[in-house]
Amino acid sequence: MQFIVKTTPEEVQRARKWWKQLELQWKMAYNEAVFGQGPTLEPPTDDHLMFLLVGVDVLRLAGPLAPNPNITTPVTNLSGLIPLYNLTYLSITNMHLTSIEELKPFTKLQHLFIVNNQITSLKGIENLTELKELYAQSNELTHIDEVKKLTKLETFYCSYNKLQNLDGITEKHEDKLNQFFVLPNETLKDKDILRIENRIGIKCRRG
């Protein structure tokens, strides 16, 4: 595969500096999943590096326990994504993530998959108003308040968490949100499900 991105010497220098300061886990992840080099710490070519920083808008990282893994060592944070702000599709599953706060500036995201992590809060996505799909099942979430302004959501999976309520879902989600998979959540009360279904008109699905 050929990677060619028009750039300036100054931009290349900044890209090299970024790579040098990158955590080891992220160097290995990019070399495996993006560059096809295996779990190595070798720096990519300048063309590869600039393609990652400028040309990539879709990124999939699947840990070793995922159905179709593409990296061998799970990442523990999202620091390595900065500054890939052109991403519209991000899938980072079967990792050791506990937080997604680094996603705050990724306002172009439309599709986000963070399945099978240990994430305790959706803090960081409050203003990602272009999101159409959010897959957050099989984590440690206790609430989903942060989706309140994400009124373009069409599909939202938050089953297999520890939800106490569904307060983030409001009447503003009614027009778009037609795939809301919230069951099972053992700590979720029936009254919260009934509020969503009867008062807001969104079916709480199982899956």
Position 195 scores a pLDDT of 95
Percent of the chain scored above 90 by pLDDT?
95
Q: Is the dihedral of CA 9, 11, 14, 18 positive or negative?
A: negative
Assess contact for 112 and 134: CB atoms under 8 A. yes
What is the chain's mean pLDDT, rounded? 95
Record the pTM: 0.95
Position 5 scores a pLDDT of 57
Position 31 scores a pLDDT of 97
Question: Where are the CATH 3.80.10.10 domain residues in the chain?
Answer: 57-206
Assess contact for 60 and 28: CB atoms under 8 A. no
Position 1 scores a pLDDT of 46
Query: Which residues of the chain, if any, have pLDDT below 50?
Result: 1-2
The 3-class secondary structure across 100-112, one letter per residue, is CHHHCCCCCCCEE
At 148, list the tokens.
């309140």
Position 7 scores a pLDDT of 73
Least Cα distance to 53 among 21, 108, 14 occurs for: 14
**CATH T-level fold of 57-206:** 3.80.10
pLDDT in tens, 3-31: 555 678 899 999 999 999 999 999 999 99
